[in-house]
Amino acid sequence: MSLKRMAACLSAASLLAGAPIAAQTSEGTSVTAPTSTPTAEKRDHSYTHHGITISDPYHWLKDQGYPVVDDEDILAYVKAENAWFETRMEPQKALVDELYEEMKARIKEDDSTVPQKDGDWLYWTEFEEGAEYRKWYRKPVAGGDKVLILDENQLAEGLDYFRLGAFSVSKSGRYLAYSTDTNGSERFTIVIKDLETGEMLADEIPGTRSGPTWVMGDKGIVYGKSTEQWRTHDATLHVLGTPVSEDVELYRETEEEGFSVATGLTAQEDWLVIATGDNETSEIRLVRADDPTGEQILVAPRKRGREYDVDVRDGVLYVHTNDDHVNFRLATASLDKPGEWKTLIPGSDEFYLSGFELFKDFYVTEGRLRGLDQIQLRSYADPNLVKPVAFTEASFSTGLSNNPEYDTDRLRLAYESMVTPDSVFDYHVKTGELELLKQQEIPSGYDPSLYKVERIEVKARDGTLVPVSIVSLKDRPMGGALHLYAYGAYGFAYPPNFSTTRLSLVDRGFAFAIAHIRGGDDLGRNWYLQGKLNERTNTFNDFVDVAKGLIDRGYTQKGKISASGGSAGGELMGVVLNTDPDLWGAVVAHVPFVDVLNTMLDKDLPLTPGEWPEWGNPIESKQAFAYILSYSPYDQVIAQDYPPLLVTAGLNDPRVTYWEPAKWVAKLREYKTDDNELLLKTNMGAGHGGKSGRFASIYEVAEEYAFILWQLGMTK
């Protein structure tokens, strides 16, 4: 949504096999490690839908008390898999440490962000040498000393996991509302700090999923609570200094179980936006930010398949919607008749209009043209006057960064490519000058001239041309190892970005390729639609066909391709392992969404109802049931050779619950006919994103890359 301050928005002995040896897990727990693979029991369980009966003997790995996971048998199996992971990776520990030190050496430990003006203050963050987390600072624009306003390291002290969620300063600059998650469950606690005195207010709101959005000046915040299923169905007002029990519910979603509610402010911060919707349908209300309990304006009632988001400038409503073109248009309306939309920028087959931002003297549209990011400045007086921000590289990722002020003559932009480190620019609106303020520093050294980036197209089996971005050393011989990555879901276009960790593979002779497959919106909204619901298998076919195309063009060879993906990208890994196991030399699936059918059948899981527009509803539709069953990785495991596979999970993950990868690995162990490595690592105190902290997280990347190099015989 184009809002300036959008709020920030799961008996033990029978499970084990092998004689014990002493071992230590990466989480520091002493365990008994097996000398052969763990084996999960098979327990009779089946279910029937639409006359089709499915046997699921590993169903018991789902703790029926979830989100509490305390079943001793389940924990014993998960811990046994962790011990097996440690045992098998122990000979590679020196390589893991080597990779970790490489990656760590590329991080500027005492780093800071570029200060940004917001009102009377400049705000920025700093990392100190050796610190896992940031410190947040500000100082007066008029001059004065810097002031530490938040220390994440202090908040994270003694915790296995820490994540800062929302960070929002009130309009006057006096109060800071922020939220934290200390176990990876994605339920946050909001607290308020008085930045003038440094004191914490008594106000504390646990169990939130959205917010806080400041309203009524410094007097109140609007937030959303998490339901038992990790959904947000409310927008609730809390007035500072009053008991949380007296908070006022401004809106509650009661019609659609899968909808989620979020809030934010318009560009001039005079309207509170209350939005509800799912992956394909929107409904928005506006209410005065200085009177949030007042009369609400319904912009337009929900209409299945219609998405829209809004902003307001000087009483004019701006609406970004897909109502008459799949690639969206921008329209205007009066607040008196908010549902009567008049086209300002029509939808285009060529340009995908992904969003917009309003400023005092101009507005900005963002999108993609032929798959490349675009930033365009536009005039309120003349909608045909378009001023694009130009970049010269053939493939790159760019977009608006943090621009908190409505009245500005410069724009903060973010830019990177597969060879250009993260860069921060100010774009001077009047002159068109791009001023480089900061580029990511790599202390151990980095020479971009040693690398080359290519953007090619590979023809998929249905004739569709799929873009692929590739980075490699300029002197890399063809036919060597290649790592292939993709996501391919929810309309998320995975960018051709820069990665310091990726260099550890590229410098060892890998080509690193990103496949811009259908399911993302890389080439426009239709690109996304062609990879969802009944066209979901296009995503998987694209990935396989890109791999085969790269082989045909001599970039690599069969068996020399490593592949990885996470979450929905982990589902992708699961499918291509089943369909084309001989292509891959090693595969890594992070928190993989692999038990698709069971999850989509369980409406009580955190995200399921909201996911039906993406995957289909197999409860109501026999066709959706059969289609999901036809590709669901867990259900399609068969007796065949599988390539080496590393799987990760998070015990507290509410997005892809821990039992999905656990069940999948258990079934693979039963069916696979090879002796290749199969490892499962479950983070016992983390969620969907793995371990927190900048160093702990890259250690897990080092483990992933060590596994790949080990399996491809490239450890020397």
Are the C-beta atoms of 378 and 364 separated by less than 8 Å?
yes
Token pair belonging to 97: 């440490």
In terms of residues, how long is the chain?
A: 716
- Tell me which of 567, 580, 632, 635 is the catalytic residue: 567
As to burial, measured by CB atoms within 10 angstroms (0-12 exposed, 13-18 middle, 19+ buried), residue 259 is: buried
- Show the beta-strand stretches assigned E in 84-187: 116-118, 121-126, 135-140, 147-151, 163-169, 175-181
Residue 567 annotated as catalytic: yes
Q: Where are the alpha helices (DSSP H) in 47-188?
A: 72-89, 93-105, 152-156
Please indicate whether residue 50 is annotated as part of the active site.
Answer: no
For residue 422, give both structure tokens. Answer: 């993260």
Beta pairing partners, 165: none
Q: Out of 59, 320, 483, 688, which one is annotated catalytic?
A: 688
- First-to-final CA distance of the chain: 49
Q: CA 149, CA 462: separation in Å to the nearest integer? A: 55
Q: For residue 126, give Cα distances in angstroms to 106, 138, 200, 379, 665.
A: 17, 11, 22, 36, 41
- Kind plus residue range of the DSSP H or E element containing 250: strand 248-252
Beta-strand pair 297-300/308-313: unpaired
Gap between the Cα atoms of 321 and 310, Å rounded: 9
Q: Are 114 and 124 contacting, i.e. CB atoms less than 8 angstroms apart?
A: yes
Catalytic site residue from 247, 309, 311, 653: 653
Place of tokens 């109502």: 323
Pairing label, strands 135-140, 121-126:
antiparallel
Quote the CA–CA distance of 538 and 407 in Å, as a whole number: 45
Phi, psi of 324 (to 5 degrees): -125, 0
Q: Closest Cα to residue 134, out of 171, 180, 201?
A: 180
CA distances from 479 to 468, 476, 576 (A): 17, 9, 21
Residue 608 to residue 577: CA distance in whole angstroms: 25
- Alpha-carbon distance of 366 to 368, in angstroms, equals 7
Q: Return the CA Rg of the chain.
A: 26
Instruction: Taking each helix axis as running N to C, give the angle between helix 537-552 and helix 622-631, from 0 to 180 degrees, rounded to the nearest 10.
Output: 30
What residues are annotated to the active site? 567, 653, 688
